[in-house]
Amino acid sequence: MAVGLFDSGLGGLTVLGAIEQALPDVPLVYLGDNAHAPYGVRDAEDIYRLTKGHVQYLWDDGCDLVILACNTASAAALRRMQEEGVPRGKRVLGVFVPLIEALTERQWGDNSPPREVAVKHVALFATPATVSSRAFQRELAFRAIGVDVEAQACGGVVDAIEEGDMILAEALVRSHVDALRRKMPEPEAAVLGCTHYPLMQDVFQQALGPSVRVFSQPDLVAASLSDYLGRHPGMIGEGQERRFLTTGDPVRVSDRATQFLRRQITFDAA
């Protein structure tokens, strides 16, 4: 039984890379819905329908545990999928929880009332769909009070990264940081709320300045998964399988993914 990772495109490969480093013996199956990417400009119902269908695909493929390695899918689909019921023996997790645990320095299992935390002014950089969902703010409110979150929808960044145009991506990041600073001049922390954005983390940090702590997801998700599997060893089987599946053109996606991770990645058709 492999752990499944689902993303609308290539962004989740940043999470996969971190998991490979932290858990080299865990078999992984990655599914990218490149035929319908990007999700960040789709409406919530469409994102939910696509996400649910592809998670079911991974469950049927033998992945009892599936991670939505996509903030947009996590924001629009995760809570609804969990509320509607997950099949017995299956699990689906998102990428928000490890981020909020780190931001609030509070474990998710701590169900005490919300309390004040050290960070008061947080900049959230995410896709338009994630921003409009307000899912990050909602989940944060369960854990912390008195935190001012200013969200910036980073249109175009995912498309530029997926196309391999890092010069355009950098220019867009700097433009979005400028726009955020006009609304929140002095953020204390910045959340990179898209799994594509770690590839631009240095650009975000440079544009924000050294005084702003930038929270990025891959390492946080990998550490959280390691902890989860330690508590639920039955969710993982033996083997070292690595498979990469796509709904798009496998040749084109393989080329992009190889550039993305800077090592040979071969996708097969889902």
Catalytic amino acids?
70, 194
Q: Are the beta carbons of 20 and 241 closer than 8 angstroms?
A: no
In whole angstroms, how far apart are CA 219 and each of 31, 85, 153, 227, 241? 20, 29, 23, 12, 21
Edge-to-edge strand list for the sheet holding 148-153: 148-153, 121-126, 189-193, 213-215
Whether omega before 38 lies within 30 degrees of 0, making that bond cis, reads yes
Q: Are the beta carbons of 124 and 188 closer than 8 angstroms?
A: no
In the chain, the DSSP E strands lie at 3-7, 28-32, 65-68, 91-93, 115-116, 121-126, 144-145, 148-153, 189-193, 213-215, 242-246, 268-269
Distance CA 124, CA 194 (A): 10
Residues with Cβ < 8 Å from 117, sequence gap 6 or more? 103, 104, 105, 106, 143, 144, 146, 147
Distance CA 270, CA 163 (A): 21
Tokens of 142: 């369960």
Q: Are the beta carbons of 152 and 180 closer than 8 angstroms?
A: yes
